[in-house]
C-alpha cells in the first residue's frame, strides 16, 4: 500500500520517527502489538520496522529508524532521502512478535532501537490493566529513544551502560527473577538476544519471545546443491558464492525478501523434501529441526537437493 510521510520527528541521536498516513485520509489497517511493516525503499531494498504507536491510534503508523553507522543502505536511505509529504510503499502489518495478552505478568527487555515494539505492547497492557515491567538499556541518555513516553510509567526502568557511573542490564538476574508464569520478551542486538535465549532455556518455549532487528548471520554461500520448485516446475542450481535467494532471483522467481540476514521472516519458503542448512534467527529450534521451511536469504542445504513449494 502507499502511505504519505506526514511528519518526521527527532527522537534521539541518530533516531527519527516517521508518521505514515493513508493517501485518502482513511484509517490505517489495524495491527497488534509487536507488528511491523516492510518498507520498500527502492527496487531490491526492503526493510522491516516495528510499529511504535498505540494500536488504538488508527490514523497513522509510527516507525522509528536508527541511522546505523554500518547501515547496509536501509536506515541511511530513510534518513537522507525521506521528506515530509512524500509517498512511500509499505506492506500491510505482519506480526512475528505477538504478545500473549493473558499472561499473569509480562517482562519486556529492550536494547537500543529494540524498544520500538515494546511501546504498543505497553499501551495494550495498560489498557488491559495487566502487570508488566520494562527494562530498557541504551548507551547514553542522548541515544535513548522514547524516554519521555516511558518515564510516565513507574514499571519502566531505563539504564545507560555507556556513561560513567551508569548501570548494567543484568539479564541473568532478570531471567532468574521473573515469575514462572511470566511471559518474557526481548528485542535488541544479536548478542543480547543470544544471551537472553541461553538464560531462559529452562522456561517453556511459548513463554520466551524474541525479535531480532539485525544479526550477525553467517550466510550460506557454499552452493553445490539444486532447488526443485514444485509450483513453477523449475529446477535450478545454486552455485558456489551464491545464496539460495540469489539463485531464485536470477532464475526469475518472484520472491519477497527484506532483511536479507534471516531475522524478518519475509523470505520463508515451505520445504517439501531435503534438509536445509538453517542459518536464520527467525525459526525456533523446533521449527528448524522439523525442516518444513527455510529462510532462503541466508540458509543453504545439507542435502544435494531441496524441494521447495514455490
Ligand atoms: S529476508 Fe528477512 S529472513 Fe530472509
105-212 classified as CATH 3.40.50.80: yes
Which atom of ligand 1 is least distant from the CA of 256? 1
Ligand 1 neighbour 258 (Cβ under 6 A): yes
The pLDDT, as a whole number, for residue 71 is 60
Q: Look up residue 173 and give its three cell numbers.
A: 538476574
Give tens-digit pLDDT for 293-304.
999 999 999 999
The residue behind cell 536470477 is 250
Q: Look up residue 211 and give its three cell numbers.
A: 525479535
Ligand 1 neighbour 248 (Cβ under 6 A): no
Give tens-digit pLDDT for 209-249.
999 876 667 899 999 999 999 999 999 999 999 999 999 99
Give tens-digit pLDDT for 3-57.
999 999 999 999 999 999 999 999 999 999 999 999 988 877 788 899 999 999 9
Higher pLDDT, 291 or 167: 291
Residue nearest to atom 3 of ligand 1 (CA): 262
Ligand 1 neighbour 257 (Cβ under 6 A): yes
Average pLDDT for the chain: 93
225-308 classified as CATH 3.10.20.30: yes
The pLDDT, as a whole number, for residue 215 is 64
The pLDDT, as a whole number, for residue 72 is 61
CA of 143 to the centre of ligand 1 (A): 27
**In this structure, which CATH number among 2.60.120.10, 3.40.30.160, 3.30.420.40, 2.40.30.10 belongs to the domain 2-90?**
2.40.30.10
Q: Does residue 166 surpass a pLDDT of 70?
A: yes
CA of 280 to the centre of ligand 1 (A): 8
Beta pairing class for 36-42 and 45-50: antiparallel
End-to-end CA separation in angstroms for the chain? 24
Ligand 1 neighbour 259 (Cβ under 6 A): yes
Q: Give CA torsion, residues 52, 192, 95, 21, to 10 deg.
A: 20
| Domain residue spans of the chain | 2-90, 105-212, 225-308
Ligand 1 neighbour 283 (Cβ under 6 A): no
Q: Does residue 70 surpass a pLDDT of 70?
A: no
DSSP structural state of residue 113: G
Listing DSSP states for 115-166 in one string gives GTTHHHHHHHHHHHT-EEEEEEEESSGGG-TTHHHHTT-TTEEEEESSSTT-
The pLDDT, as a whole number, for residue 129 is 97
d(CA 222, CA 219) in angstroms, rounded, equals 9
The pLDDT, as a whole number, for residue 41 is 86
Which atom of ligand 1 is least distant from the CA of 48? 2
Q: Does residue 274 surpass a pLDDT of 70?
A: yes
Amino acid at each position: 500500500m502507499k502511505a504519505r510521510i506526514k511528519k518526521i520527528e527527532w527522537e534521539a541521536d541518530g533516531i527519527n520517527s516517521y508518521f505514515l498516513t493513508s493517501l485518502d485520509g482513511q484509517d490505517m489497517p489495524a495491527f497488534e502489538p509487536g507488528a511491523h511493516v516492510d518498507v520498500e525503499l527502492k527496487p531490491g531494498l526492503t526493510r522491516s520496522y516495528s510499529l511504535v504507536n498505540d494500536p488504538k491510534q488508527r490514523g497513522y503508523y509510527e516507525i522509528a529508524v536508527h541511522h546505523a553507522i554500518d547501515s547496509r543502505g536501509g536506515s541511511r536511505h530513510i534518513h537522507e532521502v525521506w521528506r515530509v509529504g512524500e509517498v512511500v510503499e509499505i506492506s500491510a502489518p505482519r506480526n512475528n512478535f505477538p504478545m500473549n495478552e493473558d499472561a499473569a505478568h509480562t517482562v519486556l527487555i529492550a536494547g537500543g532501537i529494540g524498544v520500538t515494539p515494546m511501546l504498543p505492547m505497553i499501551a495494550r497492557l495498560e489498557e488491559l490493566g495487566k502487570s508488566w515491567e520494562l527494562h530498557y538499556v541504551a548507551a547514553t541518555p542522548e541515544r535513548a529513544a522514547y524516554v519521555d513516553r516511558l518515564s510516565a510509567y513507574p514499571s519502566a526502568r531505563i539504564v545507560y551502560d555507556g556513561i560513567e557511573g551508569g548501570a548494567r542490564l543484568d539479564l541473568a538476574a532478570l531471567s532468574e527473577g521473573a515469575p514462572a508464569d511470566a511471559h518474557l520478551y526481548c528485542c535488541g542486538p544479536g548478542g543480547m538476544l543470544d544471551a537472553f535465549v541461553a538464560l531462559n532455556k529452562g522456561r517453556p518455549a511459548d513463554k520466551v519471545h524474541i525479535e531480532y532487528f539485525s544479526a550477525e548471520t553467517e550466510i550460506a554461500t557454499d552452493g553445490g546443491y539444486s532447488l526443485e520448485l514444485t509450483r513453477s516446475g523449475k529446477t535450478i542450481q545454486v552455485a558456489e558464492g551464491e545464496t539460495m535467494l540469489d539463485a531464485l532471483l536470477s532464475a526469475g522467481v518472484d520472491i519477497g525478501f527484506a532483511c536479507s540476514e534471516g531475522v524478518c521472516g519475509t523470505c520463508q519458503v515451505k520445504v517439501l523434501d531435503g534438509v536445509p542448512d538453517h542459518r536464520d534467527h527467525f525459526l525456533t529450534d523446533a521449527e528448524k529441526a522439523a525442516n518444513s521451511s527455510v529462510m532462503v536469504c541466508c540458509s543453504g542445504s545439507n542435502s544435494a537437493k531441496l524441494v521447495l513449494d514455490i
